[in-house]
Structure 1
């Protein structure tokens, strides 16, 4: 082999980036489908690991689900070419295209593969799956979406993402259901404008990157590890700040894009939809607090010997990113006034 494992991973990472650019810059549905297939074939080598059975199982499940979605997408665009002038069949085709793209991004009610696959991945691959892998399907969805169908999908994502995380103890599954919930917000921002979607996606990616970096540094996979490990109190507070920002609590920067979406929904008389969004955000906030409550309140004297040491640079970096999350209300005040 001319490349070692790290070089191979970087090679497939570059292909993953370029496949997204191929899809979003294509001027035909067939070109978009080719970009999606290249994206699929470049992501599987990144997540597969011969030394980890869970990662191998996740890569196989991901291949099967994405292949089914790709077949549906290809079939629907072929039908679109054949029955271009038939309105009733075009309505069915729009449902087919939307459903296949929603399945590719792991949106409810096509979300059943998403938490199971994310359970077997490393935190870096979890971050890629929760952020970058959603860019192509969402941009393609913005070209050809059915508004009424998308509103139903938004409500399902918000509700399932909030309720599904209540009985989870795995941090990766919690973040998966959090991603499903935030996907509902992203779809609503996509329905409003692409600029708002880009802003929301950037903010979500920023917050989720801090959390995934934190869990990767301490190799945390389950909730009980947060209080078994005797972490520095400042690190726990930093993690609490980022979780509260992700849930959309007002003093933090994660509240700003959600505020814009709720304002638009209220101004356009979507009162019931905005009510569901706000109530489900409170449920999300509840299980984010549940993650941190035990680590902040419990104190196990038997495990005092088990001390985690991290470098000063990493400690400063996490706290600096958390300070950006705190500055959200100041930034949003400047934007509005």
Structure 2
């Protein structure tokens, strides 16, 4: 960050998330969401270009609309309980869940790499945990949104060549899985979000070394070993066994209380997502036998930590349950 004041906005974004997590009433939740939004918008201006200003406006309008719907329905719910169903719908709009995701792909396409990954990870925490604090009857009403998000995230990623677009539709699909895990009797949602953030950070660490967008350019690196690590991370995000992403989806399927049709939609969306993830990583995985790894490179600390991040959470989650 070029400007020191952005550290303050980063601090506001982090503190406001904890404010939402610890709030005991809707007014405090709404204030935390607003501070979170206002703290994230200045972080979008890394290069201070005109396109970033346009992207910030595209982000501000639906976020402000979702906050307005949320606080209005919270106040009107004092007189009519029927209007409470608008509150989780407003949070789904802030999350970018389908079919309320109209703002999410354009914003992701115009953001620099670091703010884009903040939007994919940290900015999901406050709205999803705000939804988890609702009454179970309200959460049940948004389960169709979870099914639509999983299906749309799988279908929308087909024929995409931009790595940002792939991660965008993958995020929409994972949002559906997060919504389906809210009613679980165990802390499945917390584990799912932590694992998703861990895998996404791994992808960010692989992409931050370069400034390419097309997946063909991403996997045509000078070092084939970097392409192999990136392919493993993307397959983990898709939920391919036995990687970490597979177990977090397996936990949702085991503990969720969603109806069968919702569960089937989640599985169908995951299978569709896996289709284009496999096509994306097909070339670097087939060229594995052509790679000549140096012993020192294979045993480097960064490589060991990367591989452990994709496998160790499996053991931790199994021992926890």
Shared fold (TM-score greater than 0.5)? Answer: yes
Confirm or deny: 8 A CA contact 1:154 1:185 kept in the other structure: yes
Q: Distance in 1 between matches of 2:4 and 2:16?
A: 18
Alignment partner of 1:205 is 2:200: no
Q: 1:188 aligns with which of 167, 174, 180?
A: 180
1:157-184 CA distance string (max 9 Å, x none): 1001100111211111110110110011
Partners of 2:169 and 2:121 lie apart in 1 by 13
Q: Is the 8 A contact 1:210 1:318 kept in 2?
A: no
1:47 is the counterpart of 2:44: yes
Unaligned runs of 5+ in 1: 84-88, 299-311
1:95 aligns with 2:92: no
Which stretches in structure 2 are left out of the alignment for 5+ residues? 288-296
Aligned 8 A contact 1:155 1:184 in 2: yes
- Number of the residue aligned with 1:217: 209
Give matches, 1:305-324, under 5 Å. 316-324=301-309
Change (3 A) 1:255 1:63: same
**Aligned to 2:244, what secondary structure does the other structure show?**
coil
Q: 1:270 to 1:13 in 2, by over 3 A?
A: same
For the pair shown, the structure with the greater C-alpha radius of gyration is 1
Indicate conservation of the 8 Å contact 2:180/2:258, yes or no. Answer: no
1:245 to 226, 236, 246: 236
**Aligned equivalents of 2:65, 2:258: Cα separation in 1:** 37
**Corresponding residue SS for 1:190:** coil
Mark the CA change 1:67 to 1:210 in structure 2 (over 3 Å): closer, same or farther.
same
Q: Helix, strand or coil for the counterpart of 1:192?
A: coil
CA distance in 1, matches of 2:12, 2:318: 40
Q: After superposition, what is the alpha-carbon deviation per residue over 1:307-330, rounded to whole angstroms, capped at 9, x for unaligned? A: xxxxx79x7425521343145655
Contact residue 198 and residue 309 of structure 2 kept, 8 A: no
**Please, which moves more after superposition, 250-259 or 151-160?**
250-259
> Conserved in 2, the CA contact under 8 Å of 1:94 and 1:144?
no
Distance 1:328 1:68 in 2: 37
1:106 partnered with 2:103: no
**CA shift in 2, pair 1:331/1:138, >3 Å:** closer
Which of 23, 26, 29 is residue 23 of structure 2 equivalent to?
26
1:274-314: per-residue Cα shift (whole Å, max 9, x none)? 3322222121111112222245568xxxxxxxxxxxxx79x
CA contact (8 A) 1:66 1:104 kept: yes
The answer for the alignment partner of 1:272 in structure 2 is 261
Quote the offset at 1:197 in angstroms.
0.6
Deviation at 1:335, TM superposition (A): 5.4
Q: Which TM-score applies when normalising by structure 1?
A: 0.84
User: Does the CA contact (< 8 Å) of 1:106 and 1:114 recur in 2?
Assistant: yes
Counterpart secondary structure, 1:144: coil
Match of 2:227 in 1: 236
Distance (whole Å) between structure 1 residues aligned to residue 25 and residue 10 of structure 2: 25
